[in-house]
Chain A
Amino acid sequence: MADRETTLLAAGDNSFRLDAYLRRGGYEAARKTLLSLKPREVMDEVKKANLRGRGGAGFPAGSKWAFVPQTDDRPKYLCVNADEGEPGTFKDRAVMTRDPHLLIEGIILTCYAVGIHTAFIYIRGEYEAIARRLEEALGEAGAKGFIGPDVFGSGFGLEVLVHRGAGAYICGEETALLESLEGKRGLPRLKPPFPASVGLFVGPTVINNVETIANIPLIFRHGADWFTGRGLPRDGGTRLFGVSGAVRKPGLYELPVGTPLRKIIFEHAGGPAGGQAIKAVIPGGLSAPFLTANEIDVPMDYESLAHIHSMLGSAGIIVIGERTPMADILRITARFYAHESCGQCTPCRIGTTWISKIADRLASGGGAEGDLETIRDLAEGMKGRTLCPMGDAAAMPILSIVEKFGSELAAAIARKKDTETE
């Protein structure tokens, strides 16, 4: 990105300081907006920008806010989801480390639009240093009156609190996050009711990802049209693509929504490492179905990926080289979900573990005929049948591995049988 002022990734050693943020034009958009626009107008501008959630599901942010009832007296809450647990995803930490004030400005705008006076940043427990940085930044902003009882002298009051999680993947699921924030076990809630009507402490609640909120100030600095112009008309802005795995230059790349996956891997991340060919790519965090090397011309936006039965998810791209056995990939994928299942509902609790046990056996040379079929049946038994989206999150990548790399897995099982007969 040439235009440093408009990026989500501020550069420089002290980019996270308030004075540095102010030099980049920070808080001006929020100040102007709070003093001149009505909350309704703020919400409309965000809707116009077609900002889709950056957490994984890609729900349009403006519509999500509009679900919050504006008619009753219950306190409303904003929960910023900074749990960032999706394997292959490391974008929110970069935003919060380099530019915490961008997030805070986004929080101010969001809360103003929805009429919220208390916001929580739910940050994963492992991000302890980042949590401290956020608290420091909140201190700086509070001292200037950017947050507090009278934001920018507009009469609007806002309190922002940082809450550290305790390291469970499931707490990134929005209702489990609410339970955890309330001090309970992080278990997903049965929906409906949805958080917009009954959320944190039974109040109407907006839950947005860090990157989603961090985009809000940009929309108000430059306008909704500018924002959609940076991405796609129906899916505006840039995305922070985290590329990891078998590439020469793993890292975080801020690129327009809709940039082709091949371009991200080859032009930005330097192509596959060690002269090997690409075998598979996970396009949007581990929960997104795997792509084969033939599928990487796909533009990286929600609709294009949905079209080929995968998803943009958290835009965490993991590249798998030809030398990596898919049995190993299956094993670590299955193990992750078995380890992170909350255990509340039957299919996920037992399905993930059962699949993991088979995958362990398979990867260590103990595969048997029928294993792949069993894995597929078990994953189908989870898909669409669990209490929260985690059943799908676990089932879909596993189904895609078995479906797209079934012959490699079957060959591994057969090889084992050959050695037995010899």
Chain B
Amino acid sequence: MNMVTIEIDGRSLQVEPGTTVLKAAEAIGIVIPRFCFHPAFEPEGSCRMCLVEIEGLPKLDLACATVVREGMKVRTATPRVVEARKDVLEFLLADHPLDCPICDKAGECFLQDYYDKHGRYASRFFESKEKKKKKIAIGKGLLLDRERCVLCTRCVRFLRRVTGTGELGVFERGVKAEIGIDEGRDIRNNYSGNLVDICPVGAITDRDFRFKTRVWFLEKGRTVCPRCGRGCSIVVQSVRGYPLVGNERRIYRIVAAENPAVNGHWICDFGRCGQHDIEDDRLTAIAVNDGGRSAGLQEGRPADWNAVLKALAGEIRTLGEAGRGTRLAVILNSFLTDEELGMCRKLFVDILGVKDIFLVDPKPGEADGLLLTADRAPNVRGAAVLGLGPKPPDAARLGESADMLLIFGSHLLDHLSPEQAAAALGGVRRKWLFTAHRSALDRLVDVVLPTAVPAEKKGSFTNVDGITQSFACAVRPRKGCLPEAEILARLAAELGVKLE
């Protein structure tokens, strides 16, 4: 392809034909301020923030919409350009409520950031501000603040072009123009959370996050969403320590991360809710339960990982020595990473010769045709590649074939009622459960070991399209929990075998 040579702020560069000035500038690290432009959409050209100087043209031109031409000379920081930016900011801030101290967007607000960089003038707006509604419920826990809105219409375009649901529109005209919703047509689609992500200001906020923390406290960790087979890139945002008391860790939200090959710029609301999987109903200590014979979980009983894993290794060894073949069965799941599943296969199949390897996932749901897949686990494809297809145990015969059962995850309950599960597990002598969340299964086993959730692990998942994506630890594991990979490695060490 013939590249186009252009010059931006005196720096010469080559870009593909059809590239816009804004994208060309970004390629050499010059970020041109914008409100309405979003890389997922065609240029809108309405905020007028990205105007730049192009040699030979009398007027300033849009960086977002102007396509490069051979020999084009662009200047992005001349006094004229800076003046134009300042003017747009002055216009936008004239009617703006300036309620940054109570605005969730403060700290990551385009308007605030640009004012800090390009504005910084004393206000000369002495007229009355336009009064608009500030707390309009538009569905799915989202609130619209029309006074903060800069009418970039990113939200409107998202709902028209991405979900095709078109719930929001612009009503009225001139300074009365406002984002609105047809009566009775609240936002109901599964992608509503993206509206908060793409709003450049604090006009659309989410009740889930509203007033909970300030964004400058957030630690951000990128990972892969574990809630379906798509494997969207997400950023888990959490606070550890100050301003929380003590060393508490709290997850505040999950937002989309850009990933052109998988999810583009978006994630679904179902995935976004995964914040609660990291936070809620977590097991935090090893619980020894005596097979349900004791009155309840004895979480208070100190049981350290070393002792418990030594005990488990001992039980596995004894089982082997009893000479009745391996009466060990294992239930895996597709929330385990490729690496963890590989370790399981090596340890249980190759080394211990376990025949009964089952795999139990949540029941498939409905795919929504956009990102959400029918699978409700992140690594179904990865498990299949390792020869671990979905294989539920025969509940009625579990006790006949196994003396000991290692259960990873509590998804049995997605297929069996607690009573059925109790009956199925009743015949097995020893049951160990490795799981992150509390469930009715906890009371039916002998030992419960708290594991990390995917956001607390590193590893990789293979998504529905066969794309394998590695990820690092997005948040520190909750105190007391271990990732399965570490549990397996330590168990192998106790058994005196190597998984490498």
Contacts and interface: CB of A to CB of B under 8 A. Distances in A.
Nearest to B176: A343
A417 interface: no
Given A190-B44, A386-B48, A387-B48, A343 B172 contact: yes
B43 A353 contact: no
Contact of A387 (B46, B125, B174): B46
A170 B174 CA distance: 11
Contacts of A352: 174-175
A354 B87 contact: no
Contacts of B51: 385
A185 B170 contact: yes
A338 interface: yes
B127 A385 contact: no
Given A384-B59, A385-B51, A346 B173 contact: no
Contacts of A345: 45-48
Contacts of B48: 345-347, 385-387
**For the side of the interface on A, what is the size category?**
20 to 34
Contacts of B125: 354
Given A354-B127, A357-B128, A385 B173 contact: no
Contact of B65 (A170, A190, A344): A190
A231 B72 CA distance: 41
B126 A346 contact: no
A254 interface: no
Given A345-B48, A385-B60, A339 B174 contact: yes
Contacts of A342: 173-174, 177
A387 B62 CA distance: 9
Contacts of A368: 126
Interface in B319-356: none
Nearest to B177: A343
Contacts of B87: 347, 377, 380-381, 385
Contact of A343 (B47, B91, B126, B175): B175
Interface of A is mostly: helix
Contact of B151 (A338, A343, A387): A343
Interface in B146-184: 150-151, 170, 172-177
Contacts of A416: none
Contacts of A338: 174-175
A301 to B, nearest CB: 23
A233 B174 CA distance: 41
Given A190-B65, A357-B128, A343 B174 contact: yes
Contacts of B176: 343
Interface string B104-141: 00000000000000000000111110100000000000
A352 B95 CA distance: 13
A387 B60 CA distance: 11
B94 to A, nearest CB: 6
A119 interface: no
Contacts of B174: 338-343, 349, 352-353
Interface string B231-263: 000000000000000000000000000000000
Nearest to A341: B174
Contacts of A350: 91-92, 94-95, 175
Given A338-B174, A346-B92, A347-B87, A361 B127 contact: yes
Contacts of A361: 127
Interface in A125-183: 168, 170
Given A346-B150, A385-B87, A374 B170 contact: no
A346 B92 CA distance: 7
A306 B58 CA distance: 16
A351 interface: yes
Nearest to A185: B170
B198 interface: no
Interface string A359-392: 0010000001010001001001100111100000
Interface string B41-56: 0011111110100000
A358 B127 contact: yes
B44 A168 contact: no
Contacts of B150: 346
Interface string A211-254: 00000000000000000000000000000000000000000000
A341 B173 contact: yes
Given A354-B125, A370-B124, A387-B48, A349 B60 contact: no
A300 to B, nearest CB: 26
A339 B150 CA distance: 19
A384 B60 contact: yes
Given A190-B44, A358-B127, A387-B48, A343 B90 contact: no
B84 interface: yes
A298 B126 CA distance: 40
Nearest to A358: B127
A377 B88 CA distance: 12
Nearest to A339: B174
Contacts of A185: 170
A168 B125 CA distance: 28
Contact of A354 (B60, B65, B88, B91): B91
A357 B91 CA distance: 13
B151 A190 contact: no
A272 to B, nearest CB: 34
B175 A341 contact: yes
B45 A190 contact: yes
A10 to B, nearest CB: 37
A374 B124 contact: yes
B146 to A, nearest CB: 12
B121 to A, nearest CB: 11
A181 to B, nearest CB: 18
Interface string A10-42: 000000000000000000000000000000000
A357 B95 contact: no
Contacts of B127: 354, 357-358, 361
A237 to B, nearest CB: 29
A374 B170 CA distance: 29
A353 B175 contact: yes
Contacts of A357: 127-128
A177 to B, nearest CB: 15
Contacts of A168: 173
A345 B65 CA distance: 14
A385 B92 CA distance: 14
A381 B45 contact: no
B394 to A, nearest CB: 60
A391 B367 CA distance: 47
A370 B125 CA distance: 11
Contacts of B62: 190
Nearest to A357: B127
A3 B48 CA distance: 51
Contacts of A380: 87
Interface in A326-346: 338-346
B486 to A, nearest CB: 54
A360 to B, nearest CB: 8
B374 to A, nearest CB: 37
A192 B443 CA distance: 68
Interface in B25-83: 43-49, 51, 58-60, 62, 65
Contacts of B59: 384-385
Given A339-B174, A341-B173, A354-B125, A381 B91 contact: yes
7 contacts: A345-B45, A345-B48, A346-B48, A347-B88, A350-B92, A354-B94, A385-B84
A-B pairs with the 5 shortest C-beta distances? A343-B177, A381-B87, A357-B127, A350-B91, A353-B175
Interface of B: 43-49, 51, 58-60, 62, 65, 84, 87-88, 90-92, 94-95, 124-128, 130, 150-151, 170, 172-177
Given A346-B150, A353-B175, 16 more contacts: A170-B173, A190-B43, A342-B177, A343-B172, A344-B151, A345-B48, A346-B48, A346-B151, A347-B88, A347-B91, A349-B174, A350-B95, A368-B126, A384-B59, A386-B48, A387-B46
